[in-house]
Chain A
Amino acid sequence: MDLLLQAHNLTKRYGATVALSEADFELRAGEVHALLGSNGSGKSTLSKIVTGLVAPDAGELRVGGQPRRFASPAQARARGIAAVYQELSLVPDMSVQDNLWLGHEIGGLLGINARETARKTDELLALFRPVAGPRFRAQTPVAELAPDERQLVEILKAVGNRPRILILDEATASLGARQVDRLFELVSGWKAEGLGIVIVTHRMEEIFRIADRATVLRNGRVVGSVEMKDTTRAALVGLISGEAKRALQVEAKAPAGRSLPALELSLRAAERLEALELQVYPGEVLGLGGLQGQGQRELLLALFGALTMVGELKVGGRPHRFAHPAEAMRQGLAYVPGDRNREGLLATRSIFENFMLPAWDGYKTGTVLQVERAQKAVIETGERLKLKYGGLELPITSLSGGNAQKVVLGKWLLRHPKVLLLDDPTKGIDVGAKAEFYHLLNDLRAEGMAVIFNSSDEDELLSLCDRVLVMLEGCIVAELSGAALNRAALVEASLGLKGEEGAKTIGGGEASRP
């Protein structure tokens, strides 16, 4: 058997987080090999190492039997490896043709061979012409194309260089059904020509249509590699979700008081969001589940007044419009971001200042701050959070990831919010800090706080939430609670499969989308 690619013991760490741990992977000529796994399982990291976009900390990569280390995507491409990335790698202001050939233009030093380029561009575009719109032409700026057409350009860009290994990382996510059909026709053809194709996707149905083999990752480790003809959908779902034990069993979930919702939203539209409705009650933890990037983050930002939205929002039964987070804060909302370095911390400031940033309102006379009173309050909150720190005036960067995340959450407690919006707050923090966070969340719920909790960790959704809304492509596709809130239902709803075991789907027509 002709092995195009072998990866052995690949490991990649980001700070304290292990994204990929001793992963093995191989790709044969003439096969379609699927990489599967839930959020943060390491499948994207693995494909980025293969394409030279990310440098591994350890491990070996062999291409065509030769050991290789790629210092850049250009080097990987020189070895015949091309990739279609999840985040688009196109330059919006440049034309379709210029994007297709960027970095490997046809021609010599004197200039680009215009005629040859045009001919080859037409050849490539013809592959998708029947399933694309009228603007799908060589000279159209990419910015003017629809998202699905941009994705097609991205695919053609990878193919144009006649690679031996092609990596399709969520390449079908924004494509319509006819475009996917056409792509799979082409993939079958390339396979017959002896190409090795790696496909990363969350659409289970596609995997069974096109893949020959599948490798499943969980928590950065390879947990299995199977021939598609020897497996079933249930077996794969089981492999993806694993038998992870619950990190914390909640003693008894208090039935949410169905009196007056703390917050009610009837959304018509917002960036990356379709029409949807939700209510959250005092003393309730409402989970947001699904694959990452399905609009959960945008939903929280829209509620917090940080993204423009169209729709009705009620807080404590009264209608509000928030044009700025400051207005949402005044009504008792608080937002804890997941990307704490980008959105939650002031990296150059002290622990104390990070704590007090949203809370100074309550600690000043006129414009003069009551620093001593604020210090006392911060110390008390620090004790409640079991924060480990050397001193209030030390820089925030002196804290570990878990402790820094406690500050990002704890700063809001000084304001005593009524509604807490959490955007994947435990990502990349250690187990101990997670457990402390879970206890805190339970305490806050007991105090009557309403919590909307987006999490990429299924265990958290299962053990901490009273109800979970599963999101897919900007819609709520399932509402799970009680007995219906279980792992299988969660995974299946996330993948857009028909619900079973009483998982009821809501949201009307949107739920039937692929």
Chain B
Amino acid sequence: MKRLTSQLVAQPYFLALVLMIVGFAVIALFQPNFFQPRTFGNNLRSYLPLICLAVAQTIVVIGGGIDLSLGAMLTLSSVVMVRTFGPEFEVPPDRIAAGILLGLLVATLAGAVNGWIVAYLRLQPIIATFATSFVWGGLALWVLPQPGGNVPQGLQDLVRLNALLPFTLWVVLFFGLGWYFFLRTKGAKALFAVGGNPQAAYASGVNVDLTRLLSYAGGGFFTGVGALFLVGDVATGDPLIGAPLTLASVVTVVIGGTRLSGGAGGIYGSMMGAAVYYLLINVVALAVIRFGWSSQLQTLLTGIVIVLALAGPGLVYLTQQLRRRA
């Protein structure tokens, strides 16, 4: 038991785990109805797109990159799906399949384009993907200029599924299991090596450029999955919906203990980070209601809390440096 605890503390996602438990505990105290099966499922459902984006960003970051176009990519993929489903209320099955496949394909391709730009054109990932985010955003506006469109009932029912557990938890379990097996493949070893020490990876015979490209493409794919759940949840298309989620995905990665410099970390922490992100917002909202603060203060507090969360790992580093100097 003692060994288990010390192992847990050593995990990079320990901070996220603690924050998540504290967050759920605070909410259980002050907002008990949060956990009623129906509301719980509904609440968790809104986490889904960010969970997928957190996974996507984690893969890219572990490989030594970052993708600031994920939000726009999510939007693009979702509007492609909605456009392909068509305007009719009853969507024929072949168009459902076509919409989903096309949406996933577009997101994966967009990721691959980012990866190609970063790995083969060797542009700085931060600014290059920032630039492509305009391209994806512009394309999304072109595909669907106004919010609207239909989403098949089956897809809406899927994300509202509550068999034993809410659908979101099934997705998390599935992702977690997938990650567990992925870690035991050559691809995972290459990914971590490329992010951790590209020279060493190259000297060991790893195809560094291809691994980078594939990490971005993988990020694109999970962004597409996020788009699928998003349209199932909101049941419509919106050409501006994804943008705020980009920063959120970076925040989840940082809170989850994945180093932004690459080569370490994992999706368990990031998925917890996604929960922590929403819980922080939720807790701030509760506090605002409880103490009768203005709703304007809520925006400010949320912003500050998120900046503090971003600064967390850096502050730890800084205090270590200072202590060493003393």
* Chain A residues within CB distance 8 Å of chain B: 53, 72-74, 77, 85, 88-94, 98, 101-105, 107, 110-112, 114, 157, 308
Contact = CB atoms under 8 A, between A and B. Distances in A.
A111 B185 contact: yes
Contact of A91 (B184, B197, B325): B197
A228 to B, nearest CB: 30
Given A92-B196, A93-B192, A98-B189, A72 B202 contact: yes
Contacts of A94: 189, 192-193, 196
Given A72-B205, A73-B205, A89-B197, 12 more contacts: A53-B203, A72-B202, A89-B199, A89-B204, A90-B197, A101-B189, A103-B190, A103-B193, A105-B189, A111-B181, A111-B184, A112-B186
23 contacts: A72-B205, A73-B202, A73-B203, A74-B205, A89-B197, A89-B199, A89-B200, A91-B193, A91-B201, A91-B263, A92-B197, A93-B196, A93-B264, A94-B189, A94-B192, A102-B189, A102-B200, A102-B201, A103-B201, A103-B205, A105-B186, A105-B189, A112-B185
B153 interface: no
Contacts of A74: 205-207
Chief secondary structure at chain B's binding surface: helix
Instruction: Report, as a range, how many residues of chain B touch the other chain.
Output: 20 to 34
Contacts of B199: 89
A88 B207 CA distance: 19
Interface of B: 181, 184-186, 189-190, 192-193, 196-197, 199-207, 263-264, 325
The 3 A-B pairs at the shortest CB distance, nearest first, are namely A74-B205, A103-B205, A103-B204
A153 B263 CA distance: 19
A163 to B, nearest CB: 12
B184 A102 contact: no
A77 B189 contact: no
A98 B192 CA distance: 10
Contacts of A114: 184
A104 B263 contact: no
Contacts of B185: 110-112
Most chain A CB within a 10 A radius of its CB, from B197, B200, B201, B207 = B200
Contacts of B207: 74
Contacts of A88: 200
Contact of B205 (A85, A104, A111, A112): A104
A89 B201 CA distance: 7
A112 B181 CA distance: 10
Contacts of A90: 197, 200
Nearest to B264: A93
A91 B181 contact: no
A69 to B, nearest CB: 16
B186 A107 contact: yes
A85 B199 CA distance: 12
Contacts of A98: 189, 192
A72 B207 CA distance: 9
Contacts of B204: 73, 89, 102-103, 157
A193 B232 CA distance: 64
A91 B208 CA distance: 13
Contacts of B196: 91-94
